[in-house]
Amino acid sequence: MARPRVSPQPEVPGLAARRIAADIIDGVLRRRLPLDEQLSGKSAHFGLPTLAERDRALTRRLVATVLRRLGTLRHLVGGFLDKGFPAEAPRIETILLIGAAQILWLDVPDHAAVDLSVRLAQADRRGSRYAGLVNAVLRRVAQSRSSFDANDASRDTPAWLMARWQKTYGEETARDIAQANGHEPALDITVKANAESWAEHLHGDVLPTGTVRTLAHGAISLLPGFVEGAWWVQDAAASIPARLFGDIAAKEVCDLCAAPGGKTAQLANAGAKVTAVDRSPARIARLKENFARLKLDVETVAADALEWQPGKQFDAVLLDAPCTATGTIRRHPDVPWLKSENDLGVLTPLQSKLLDRAVDLVRPGGTLVYCTCSLEPEEGEAQIAALLARDPRVVRSPIAAAEVFGHAEFVTEAGDLRTLPHYLPDEDPRWAGLDGFFAARLIRKDA
Ligand SMILES: C[S@@+](CC[C@H](N)C(=O)[O-])C[C@H]1O[C@@H](n2cnc3c(N)ncnc32)[C@H](O)[C@@H]1O
């Protein structure tokens, strides 16, 4: 006899978004997978396309909040666990962190945050017996809300990184950086033209850097101007290095570490003839897609800059070197949990070699801009000091405060650019801050 067909139970609304968020957080914390790769592109979580846009946005927000406030969450939730997080069921920790993040920072009713977390625990093969514990702990989190300072981000930077920033910038500035990293940043975009009018369309503001800043959320590709290629996403600080060349129209420029092409696009949009080099063919493909959308011209080369032989020199070279990216934690809250001090040992020798190569590729009289989105001096100030000491062909061309919109605090004593995440303060933290960047401008002086 044929059995009656049983259709699967429809899933409780909102559960899939939380389960996928838990998978992605586990991907970062337990498998060291970069967040960007899990959210978009070929390696993105297979469940994301099955979610409605609203749930996808919730997943992204949950993941970012848990990673951004990880130290605080672990401390608070851990305080309610007599025996710590269950080691044999690691998913329970993730479920508790996601539940607590919803109660403390998201607009989710407590009962929904608790109920959905309990369901996630029940569905976990190793952790189902902790479902009662999840229920009890999250109820205590909700009760503790009135005595909890949701803005205190002092536990959210790993100790090794905080110690570095204290050494480099002093106690107070290190605290300000950590605090700035605790806030979700606004969306910054660089427009091809008509910043004021795009700011109006996007309900944003024009920053002194010319960047349009908006609080618009959701899918970037659905925002006005994206499809027609009127702008691209770029943090306000990231837009400064390419401007340091001054008038670049009709000049031959080489962008040595170009992909995905934010700075390349600025150079092309300013009228330069740009050759964009990157060693990652996949990232060069993304750059080409971006340029097709923006209707900008560029010559692309997928090659290792250390080996590439163009057979000529350029009027200007931009070297946006690979780095630890510790200046971008506001936008990439996975960085502190993926990177370690050991990465500096790999990256700094590569940066030095790339710098030497970049100098070779600048014609005498031409300009080289070196930049990194790192707060670590080994990847910025120290690289330039070492280059100037070993290569008499280059001299520093100091940056004036007027070139950075009068923000004298953006310029070091030596004349380099150094932005910190707590600069550009605003009463409303959603509008404040910019990435931490270093940039130096050098001139090749030999004949
Ligand atoms: C900081 S990202 C560049 C960001 C880009 N300039 C932008 O504004 O969108 C660094 C890039 O350097 C590339 N890269 C790393 N080592 C390289 C090498 N030896 N030669 C060429 N590109 C390299 C990486 O693939 C990565 O895309």
The number of the ligand 1 atom at minimal distance from the alpha carbon of 305 is 20
Domains and CATH numbers, the chain: 15-147 (1.10.940.10), 236-444 (3.40.50.150)
Q: pLDDT by residue for the chain (447 residues), tens digit each?
A: 445 555 566 789 899 999 999 999 999 999 999 999 999 988 999 999 999 999 999 999 999 999 999 999 999 999 999 999 999 999 999 999 999 999 999 999 999 999 999 999 999 999 999 999 999 999 999 999 989 898 899 999 999 999 999 999 999 999 999 999 999 999 999 999 999 999 999 999 999 999 999 998 778 999 999 999 999 999 999 999 999 999 999 999 999 999 999 999 999 999 999 999 999 999 999 999 999 999 999 999 999 999 999 999 999 999 999 999 999 999 999 999 999 999 999 999 999 999 999 999 999 999 999 999 999 999 999 999 999 999 999 999 999 999 999 999 999 999 999 999 999 999 999 999 999 999 999 999 976
**Residue 395: DSSP 8-state:** E
Q: What is the pLDDT of residues 225-278, one digit of tens each?
A: 999 999 999 999 999 999 999 999 999 999 999 999 999 999 999 999 999 999
Q: What stretch of H or E contains 303?
A: none
The answer to whether the bond into 10 is cis (omega within 30° of 0) is no
Report helix angle 381-390 to 341-361, nearest 10.
40
- Write phi, then psi, for 128 (nearest 5 degrees): -60, -30
CA of 304 to the centre of ligand 1 (A): 10
Round to whole Å and give the CA distance between 290 and 284: 10
> For residue 1, what pLDDT is reported?
43
Q: What is the pLDDT of residue 11?
A: 82
The response to whether residue 347 sits with its C-beta less than 6 Å from ligand 1 reads no
Cα 332 to ligand 1 centre (Å) = 17
Q: How many residues does the chain have?
A: 447
- Which tokens is 364 given? 């005498």
**In ligand 1, which atom is closest to the CA atom of 320?**
6
**Neighbouring C-beta atoms of residue 317, cutoff 10 Å:** 29
Is residue 36 in contact with ligand 1, taking CB distance under 6 Å?
no
**Closest ligand 1 atom, CA of 238?**
8
* Phi and psi torsions of 191, nearest 5°: -100, 150
> Smallest Cα–Cα separation from 23: which of 218, 108, 15?
15
Distance in angstroms (rounded) separating the CA atoms of residues 233 and 242: 15
Our answer on whether the CB atom of 282 is closer than 6 Å to any ligand 1 atom is: no
Instruction: Indicate whether residue 384 lines ligand 1 (CB < 6 A).
Output: no
Ligand 1 neighbour 332 (Cβ under 6 A): no
Yes or no: say if 211 and 236 are a contact pair by the CB < 8 Å rule: yes
Q: Is 241 in the pocket of ligand 1 (CB under 6 A)?
A: no
Q: Determine the distance separating the centroid of ligand 1 and the alpha carbon of 306, expressed in angstroms.
A: 12
- Residue closest by Cα to atom 27 of ligand 1: 259
Catalytic residue flag (residue 371)? no
Taking a C-beta distance cutoff of 8 angstroms, is the pair 29, 337 a contact? yes
Residues 6+ apart with CB under 8 A from 426: 432
Predicted pLDDT of residue 447: 60
Q: What is the Cα–Cα distance from 302 to 72, expressed in whole angstroms?
A: 42
Residue 257 CA to ligand 1 center (angstroms) comes to: 3
Task: Enter the DSSP assignment of 193.
Answer: S
Per-residue pLDDT, 108:
95
Specify the ligand 1 atom closest to the Cα of 322: 10
The neighbour count for residue 156, using CB atoms within 10 Å, is 23
**Dist CA 69 CA 78 (whole Å):** 14
Exposed/middle/buried for residue 357 (C-beta within 10 Å: 0-12, 13-18, 19+): middle
Residues 296 and 274: their CA atoms lie apart, in Å, by 10
Q: What sign for the dihedral angle of Cα 140, 81, 102, 182?
A: positive
Q: How far is the CA of 261 from the centre of ligand 1 (A)?
A: 9
Q: Could you identify the atom of ligand 1 that is nearest to the CA of residue 325?
A: 1
Question: Per the structure block, which two tokens stand in for 232?
Answer: 């691209």
- Select which of 254, 257, 323, 373 is catalytic: 373
Cα gap 102→62, rounded to integer Å? 7
Reference 362, options 326, 329, 395, 337; nearest CA is 395
286 lines ligand 1 (CB under 6 A): no
Contact assessment for residue 442 and residue 396, using Cβ atoms and an 8 Å cutoff: yes
Burial 388-417 (b: 16+ CB within 10 A, else e): eeebeebebbebeeebbeebeebbbeeebb
Residue 85 in tokens = 């997080």
Ligand 1 site, residue 305, Cβ cutoff 6 A: yes
Identify which of 111, 16, 107 has the alpha carbon closest to the alpha carbon of residue 56: 16
Give the Å distances, CA to CA, from 384 to 90, 217, 398, 444: 44, 38, 12, 14
- pTM over 0.85, yes/no: yes
Do 141 and 79 form a contact (C-beta atoms < 8 A)?
Answer: no
